[in-house]
Amino acid sequence: MPVDLFAPAMLGPIRLRNRIVKAATFEGMSRRGLVTPQLIDFHRTFAAGGVAMTTVAYCAVSPEGRGAPSEIVLRPQARDGLAQLADAVHAEGAAVSAQVGHAGPVGNPRVTRARVLSASSGRSPLGTRHHAMTQADIDRVVDDFAAGAAILLKAGFDAVEIHMGHHYLLNAFLSPRFNHRRDDYGGALENRVRLLRDVAAAVRAVAGNQMAVIAKWEMVDGVRRGLTVPESLAAAALLEADGNLDALELTGGGSLANPMFLFRGDVPRTEFAATLTPAQRFGFRLVGRWFMRDYPFEEAYFRPQAREFLGALKTPLILLGGINRLDTMNSAITEGFEFVALGRALLREPDLVRRLEAGDVSESSCIHCNKCMPTIYRGTHCVLVDPADRPGQRVLA
């Protein structure tokens, strides 16, 4: 019997009204690391537009875990704002998730005023130095993830998405490209996945059966000597055996190196360079074409790798990556993916899901120009949408 894309579905302990979720797209709307009316309206708009669940991104589990300005920092002062956001989304009939993480080597010391931590010491392509974590650092970060989940639970969130991808801290431990440790967290795959398993267990202990626990899961790093699909799949199987995750949202590439592997389509190098400091801009002129490589857009571009997970795991899977057309969404659900996640398509058309369900359109009008990428530091938006119609512009009274 065919699975209906628009019928209710279960995600762990929560019931969603359909199988389309708003993927985490960092908003840049959280001054002083707190929820703002602009951020509330941003997510309320997607909820009103028909998504089953909208994902707040990116929520740092500690001040040192930030990767950019205007990120939510999960601390007691943030709880009331998060609760207001959850209430606004729930009022529109949707669920709300928060992506939680530690930026690790993607961290920005100009923002955190702290050392940038990672699995191993090194230097990013843009020159930032990162430092190998001690056991005390590791224990503290696990506790920070649990504390962040507790804040979200008290704020009424329905799900928490642990960021295990995009070269952030947890991915840096899993990836052989970034992890050169020789202790219990390095070397063999079982060691490199240890921190990810500990974090998932700590978050599940807090979430219980009240919140769904999802992992943003790195299938492939998209860099030389990085994580490959076979290793990623083996690591995912270990997490599956632990039983602490309700779903994996499958992704690849990342912010530290080769970000266009994640996005595909046009490369907004000029716009990205404009967001950098003069010193960074000089370096970017030298390495920009290498750092932001050309990857022609193909719809559902992660589907080939994701199919390998589909055939090997029982954990529900969320398909991500340039999904624009209704028939692609339907075929993904028919094939066995539990949910599909949309990002840029919804920035372009926040009411896309309602219009798809009503038969008004059959695909998004997103042109994959990727000029939304550099807007993240001033309020993420589609540059093709009239400012008056952008999510986050119509601030709630």
Beta bridge partners of 130: 116, 122
Cα Rg of the chain, angstroms? 19
For helices 79-91 and 37-48, angle between their N-to-C axes, nearest 10 degrees: 20
Cα(195)–Cα(213) distance, integer angstroms: 16
- Check: CB of residue 374 under 8 Å from CB of residue 272: yes
168 is catalytic: yes
User: Which are the contacts of 73, defined by CB distance < 8 A and separation ≥ 6?
Assistant: 33, 59, 60, 62, 63, 65, 66
SS3 337: coil
What percent of the chain is helix, strand and coil (3-state, nearest 5)?
A: 40, 15, 40
- Check: CB of residue 27 under 8 Å from CB of residue 376: yes
Q: Ramachandran region of residue 141, left (φ > 0), alpha (ψ -120 to 50) or beta?
A: alpha
User: Which are the contacts of 176, defined by CB distance < 8 A and separation ≥ 6?
Assistant: 192, 225, 226, 227, 231
Residue 144 amino acid letter: D
- Please classify residue 254 by burial: count the beta carbons closer than 10 Å to its beta carbon, then call 0-12 exposed, 13-18 middle and 19+ buried: buried
Task: List the one residue out of 239, 295, 304, 228 whose CA is nearest residue 264.
Answer: 295
Cα(40)–Cα(80) distance, integer angstroms: 12
Q: 250 is written with which tokens?
A: 């499958």
- Check: CB of residue 161 under 8 Å from CB of residue 24: yes
Cα(70)–Cα(134) distance, integer angstroms: 28
- Check: CB of residue 160 under 8 Å from CB of residue 100: yes
Backbone φ and ψ for 195, nearest 5 degrees, come out as -65, -40
Given 58, 168, 185, 301, which residue is catalytic? 168
Please list the active-site residues.
Answer: 168
